[in-house]
Structure 1
């Protein structure tokens, strides 16, 4: 069992144990297990633990194909999952658009202030003055009743069919890069073509997030499945570690969103 943990960060041990519990549940009950929304790093960890040839299968769904945050359904071989099994709802935020403009951080902050955990919400979609969000249908009644304000704006939710989700125009560009190491500052430097010193400054100024958490250590080691965001530069996702070059540099496949 300890051999599993050595491939991941110490702080990820709790999530690994949770995935193992889900797997054991499906094996013992021969019934599907639906979990909350996972970020891309958590999805990668789950894929690594469950594997492709196991008796327990898995599928992700977050509302649409390009969703970043997705719910996971673990199930036995006989089960054939459909999108409805994921209980993902799409909700449009209605508000006085003529007088105020809402943004992604404002909406997320208001949702979190309700005391609901982040893993109950999926992606928040923005298209000019339209804002939608994916959420677990299990908390739909609570959201409809309690989500009434964002900033100073009065709001209410309107449920929509999943196929009416906003189609955002953002495009990830895949690219292979080489970096001196897997240190966070080195990855940022290589991905965004800036100096190592500048990437270190960004990290020290708390302008960089690793898997949605602010990181102040330039030497933090990056792993496959990690999401990195640097303010004013963009975001990147480590898709795959490709080994090392002849000069002993790390080779990586990354997705870049600017």
Structure 2
């Protein structure tokens, strides 16, 4: 059974798949819900695929706001329907001297990770251009308040907010259709951001490209459904739909693209 699951995904994803199978078995054996850490869109896709058409288990997901990319998921028996507060997510706004300093997604994330907590404990980081908010697991909020007192050289304070005070992010994803010769990372980066294949390869090898928020330096890596690719200085792309191949054996894709 496990081998059959593995064949649908990447070798690198096998440890996560093992975790998912363990979560499902725990729900089945104990008949109680299991709440995950924050998952990226690709991980949520894996969870949903493995659960499949199991009529005894449901999946509910929430990331703090409706359009969240990173979400916590309940794998649960059909009797359980979680409420918003059951997902145990805290919203922090980063208070800092706006007139004298500026923040960026990379700086905020780098500071959060420097606390020693894994990326799994943090959800989306959003901004309206000036203000910044971050979604975290409830269990970490006291620790984060104590640890995050500066971002770079900027003094900051983490202030808890209510759901009614969530910012309206300025991110504006555009939906684009692309036809590409392969699903290689360098091919997609080159095609979407209109740069040469060689330039795309150099950027990937020099650590300027991330896949699902993790640095990836393999130009030949095969991108899959719901992967998010971040390219420093250019923006982000997400494979939202793989429509199949053309008569010339090229891939037809629907992509979400966020230009910087």
TM range (shorter): over 0.9
| Structure 1 residue runs of 4 or more that deviate by more than 6 Å after TM superposition | none
Change (3 A) 1:217 1:147: closer
TM-score by length of 2: 0.92
Change (3 A) 1:203 1:114: closer
Gaps of 5+ in 2: none
Offset from partner CA, 1:212-253 (integer Å, 9 cap, x none): 222222211111121112223221111122221111111222
Distance in 2 between the 1:54 and 1:84 partners?
25
- Structure 1 residue 52: deviation in Å? 4.4
- Structure 1 residue 121: deviation in Å? 0.9
Change (3 A) 1:229 1:103: closer
| Aligned residue number for residue 16 of structure 1 | 17
Distance in 1 between the 2:198 and 2:145 partners?
48
| Aligned residue number for residue 28 of structure 2 | 27
Distance in 1 between the 2:233 and 2:95 partners?
29
- Structure 1 residue 53: deviation in Å? 4.4
User: Retained in 1: the 8 A contact 2:129–2:170?
Assistant: no
Distance in 1 between the 2:123 and 2:68 partners?
8
| Aligned residue number for residue 198 of structure 1 | 199
Change (3 A) 1:232 1:101: closer
Q: Equivalent residues in 2 for 1:221-232 (5 A)?
A: 221-232=222-233
| Aligned residue number for residue 188 of structure 1 | 189
Distance in 1 between the 2:147 and 2:215 partners?
29
| Aligned residue number for residue 168 of structure 1 | 169
Distance in 1 between the 2:102 and 2:57 partners?
45
- Structure 1 residue 2: deviation in Å? 0.6
Distance in 1 between the 2:187 and 2:93 partners?
40
Distance in 1 between the 2:5 and 2:210 partners?
25
Q: Equivalent residues in 2 for 1:128-143 (5 A)?
A: 128-143=129-144
Distance in 1 between the 2:140 and 2:206 partners?
37
Deviates further, 151-160 or 87-96: 151-160
Offset from partner CA, 1:120-146 (integer Å, 9 cap, x none): 111111223311111101112222233
1:168 counterpart SS class = coil
Q: Equivalent residues in 2 for 1:82-161 (5 A)?
A: 82-161=83-162
Count of equivalent residues: 258
Gaps of 5+ in 1: none
Offset from partner CA, 1:144-164 (integer Å, 9 cap, x none): 233222222332221111121
Distance in 2 between the 1:123 and 1:33 partners?
21
Change (3 A) 1:249 1:14: same
Distance in 2 between the 1:94 and 1:215 partners?
32
